[in-house]
Structure 1
Amino acid sequence: MKRLLLPLAIATTLLAGCQSTQTPEPDQLRGTGDLGLIIERATGSVLVVDHSEYEILDRVEGLGDLSHASVVYSRDARYGYVFGRDGGLTKVDLLTGTIDERVIQSGNSIGGAISQDGEYVAVSNYEPGGVNVFDSDTLETVAEIPATYVNEEGKQDQSKTVGLVDAPGNRFVFSLFEAGEIWTVDMLTTPPDVSRHDAGEEPYDALITPDGRYYIAGLFGEDGLSMMDLWNPGQGVQTILPDYGKGEQRLPVYKMPHLEGWAIADGNAFVPAVGRHEVLVADMADWSMVERIPVQGQPVFVMASPDNRQIWVSFAHPKNNVVQVIDSQTREIIRTLEPGKSVLHMEFTPRGEEVWVSSRDSDRITVYSTRTLEEVARLPARKPSGIFFTNRAHALGL
């Protein structure tokens, strides 16, 4: 009996010792569910923020050219992957406020996505074109997918790639601007299987519906949008909302609309019109035009609050100092807000009680209550642009 008890006592003591040395102090423990990253585009830095406390936790520097930067998150929401315009892909640790890994993967990139299983990070490139895929842990290259096509002169060329999103089945989907195509990449095959589909003229950005079924690319070269049913890819790509500007002269486009933050509410899709001072409303049952809502300028972001009751719209230069809020049921503008000079981005808190708005030329973030539409907080930031909260880790296409 003594032989049995002695080892048990020693094991218990050792286990207690291991627990006491490996458990962090209470003030060192925290989750990441109410954290996020804010891009400071002019200084190559990002802010780590706590949106529950309106607090800036860290500033991480050395991320290169962030003039058109975006962020996706690891499955555990600890790491943010920042896509820089200079081709930089940077893995930021939100808990330590440091750069975990960084690579320069191209000459000019325009966003990216993380796969459904969290294993791969893909980057969409302008120069030299194509999509590069990396291991999310190490940022080592997994695949290089050149966006080759035959140009008007009959020669093989490379296209800019845009509208890169993740899709169910561990797929990536993206569009080719010059080629007018939509490609899907299956990351469950080795090497990744690529499927090509003809689309409309000059797709410039794209979105995926929350259920992952439809991939929709906006078209710069013509009216309408190209839509692909990912459940039935054999049906090809169809055009929806064709001729929405038929017979009307297009206005100058100072900044391309962004479709990533698109809005779905009450069975309808709300999307910005290219070269129009309008938000288009489409019935998602048959993708027919329902309404054209006049707004004060050319929309850039058209975003729905998480409860889908409000549509928040930001605008391109020169009328980019305001945000307009639309009631999704009445489709009327209920408030025009002035968050500051040069509004660039908006982000709702996960349950939608507040929205954070960046104003580049006012060097600040303004936080509004979505219930009262009144300002509740301000945070200083250096030329802020994109705002990305960690709840994006668990949403498709973000």
Structure 2
Amino acid sequence: MESFERARLDTYFSKITSQFRPEEQPASFLVTHLLPERPSFVRAVGAASDLRAVLPKPKSIALSAQREVETVAQCDPLSRDLFADQDRTLEYFENRARGERLVLLDVGGYFAPTLNAMGDRFSGTILGVIEDTENGHKRYAELDKLPCPVISVARSPLKDPEDFLVGQSVVFSTEALMRSRGDILHGRPALVIGFGKLGSSIARLLHAKGVQVTVYDIDPIRRTQALSQGFTVARDRDAALHNAGLVLCATGAVSLRSEDFSTLRNGAYVATVTSSEDELDLTTLPAVYDRTRDTEHVTRYQTTGHYFYLLNGGNAVNFLHGASVGPFIFLVQAEILAAIRMLARGDLTAGMHEVSAADRAVIAHTWLTYFNR
């Protein structure tokens, strides 16, 4: 990022934080991708709250961004295990924010497994959670009873541009890795599993590139949407897997389990839009499969009479090329800052919430002022 671009971004976030600054700053933990542009957002979170810890998602860390963030905030290693056990979660919360009014900024539902327990055991007050992804939205929505407000920006209209462009970046990176082996998209039928915002974006771009696309989704409403947009909709999932030369997983849940991999046709490529631990059940893949590195980011899985290729170890393939969606990401980041103020007021009931349409309009107007040039 050029210096003038960074200056404009910092000025934009300064304007956003002035518009949505809480009267009383809460403490916060921030789970985030540490991409090259992310330090500006981290600093903005630090201006809107007392940022006690940044927890970078482990598969998407730019070292230059991490070094910059470490100059302004504590960075801690993140894993699903960190917040899976009540006692371990409680120890972390107490070490970082004992007795504080705390806001949890999440990307993927990391705090969900022990959130109910922390509502009772933490010495401070959990004001609420802000969740950025559809996968995380589902994790919180599925809890029997939420102990605090959860503000989700995953389904915000301000996130639509980001979701569309992430889908485009997934196709770009998938094609780049295939070409690194001398293969191309054309002539290779594709199966897109999941027809949400990302899956539909992926399907549309593949179709625009002349690829034959089949869609599978467990939701019958999404299947009808896919059919209305001209896609083939799989009736038989196993048959669709067997016929596809490229499988793109975009569900935010487990798309492929151990028994599914043997169904793949020989030479098929598999790519995902999120981390392997969320999208693929690789741990139970039969041990008869030998794993060999074909190229730097392509792994060949082979057993007698069968083989397929896994891109980027099953992790989000677009992060190999920066996963950039341009300035559109700053829309939803501003909405996260607005959500901090909502939680800091302390007047929301336990349950799922969204940022108001009025606040979104303010954000969009401010964003256009800085980035519609």
Q: State the TM-score, normalized to the length of structure 1.
A: 0.28
Structure with higher RCO (Cα < 8 A, 6+ apart): 2
Q: State the TM-score, normalized to the length of structure 2.
A: 0.30
